[in-house]
Chains A and B, each alone.
Chain A
């Protein structure tokens, strides 16, 4: 009998290859980011890169401190808006919303999540920037605050949907116990349900934060893109991601400037991976907790 090639094994091999494609892609991303970025540090110290306050590619000065501070400002502003709004909307949907209100709000959240970031940016550029200019009496409304506001709207769907899941996972017996003690709806929500769901809520905030760190297009259009240290939310700034976007067009492939822009990409990449691992752990714990 001839040994024939079993088609099942061939197909299994091909499918295995497809299966590990995701691992391959992730490894390629890591390899290429570091391969193109790290040569910078043959010329510049890591501390000069992270703490230097001058970014002047013409003079080969690559200090990212202003970008890091701008990024932190934009994200803190966005979180200040999105956390209270997102959690209360999640509580509303999970605890007190009548069916018809829920049927209106849920699809609205899904749609918000599907709108491309460039359209958020366009809207913010013509509406929010002007509103800020008028309300704070500024010469130019292109500020970090404008970026924070639009970013907050963009991360709300993540914060809401994951918080809502974890609030809904809190067993009904918790609520019944609270009501039996004579607590009002709000007392039950604020002292029993939300604390019980805190892991999932924190995970939702971390995921929102990760999304915010990586966002580029929406904020590039509205934060003014000034390579300086911002002093307040009403200052203009330039984040790590928007700096890559704006400067890659001028950088020659293989130049020090090009290496430096890849290093700018490594920072949000590492932070985002870290946040995604933490949040998925928190989510899996928050689900198994009540089982």
Chain B
């Protein structure tokens, strides 16, 4: 009996320390990135061109590249993802097709990011070269768009399902058509979830490296168009660290990425609580 109580105490200490480990791991990774990166963190770091082959100066081309690539990914994945969610919740019953769509979305979510890199290389760079300009920002953005599509479908679908059935029926009762009901009841009600999904997808797209690594160029120039080549924060960080070119700039980029991700996470959470406070009836 006493032995059981001692074991109980020891085990609880073990459980507490495993939770502490999580906190320590997070704090040390974020803290280290902050300490190493904060030195290069100033306005000119974001707005200047790189000098001396990325060893000095700013990271403007990578920032612009990241913005373009993420914008293309979202422009592709948001309408298709939301449309797919509307189809799944409003236009069809659960059946073989919906099951297949869900399995496909889950599988795309599980596909290793480097395999997306191979796929993007084969499809956009090799086969559709004439449309995408080969290894271009457009190819990279579309590859990321494919990758985040399941996230947007899933979050939109979940939030559309929370729109109350009674409200939809009232809308039909007032003589509204299906399309009017979707536009006036379903979409506004599901908006918080859709926005959260888009923010989550944005966070994922901005942090990915492997899917686009075969489509970037290392030239420190501002990308001319989406059909031209460029590079992003993540791919530039990889080359700087892998080749040991400049750890200072690498950590500056890392801190930039972490800051963006923290802001996106925070705003997704705030949006969710804001909407759920204001829309609950």
A interface residues with partner B (beta carbon < 8 Å): 7-8, 11-12, 14-16, 18-23, 25-26, 28-29, 32-33, 35-36, 84-85, 88-89, 91-93, 96-97, 101, 104-105, 108-112, 114-123, 125-127, 153, 156, 160, 184-187, 189-190, 210, 213-217, 220-221, 241, 244-245, 248-249, 253-254, 261-262, 265, 268-269, 272-273, 275-277, 280
Contacts and interface: CB of A to CB of B under 8 A. Distances in A.
A22 B242 CA distance: 34
A19 B29 contact: no
A101 B17 CA distance: 12
Contacts of B203: 114
A125 B243 CA distance: 12
B84 A244 contact: no
A276 B114 contact: no
Given A8-B179, A15-B91, A186-B7, A112 B22 contact: yes
A186 B29 contact: no
Interface of B: 4-5, 7-8, 11-12, 14-16, 18-19, 21-23, 25-26, 28-30, 32-33, 36, 79-81, 83-84, 86-88, 91-92, 97, 100-101, 103-119, 121-123, 125-126, 146, 149-150, 153, 177-179, 203, 206-210, 213-214, 234, 237-238, 241-242, 247, 250-251, 254, 257-258, 261-262, 265
Contact of A187 (B4, B33, B108, B234): B4
Contacts of A221: 238, 241-242
A249 B177 contact: no
Contacts of A33: 115, 118-119, 122
Shortest Cβ-Cβ A-B pairs, 9 listed: A214-B112, A116-B207, A18-B83, A15-B87, A19-B87, A276-B110, A88-B18, A184-B8, A186-B11
Contacts of A12: 87, 91
Given A104-B23, A114-B265, 6 more contacts: A114-B261, A119-B258, A184-B4, A210-B110, A245-B213, A272-B111
A32 B119 contact: yes
A118 B106 contact: no
Given A29-B115, A118-B209, A272-B111, A109 B22 contact: yes
A291 B152 CA distance: 30
Interface centre among B22, B103, B150, B254 (most CB of A within 10 A): B22
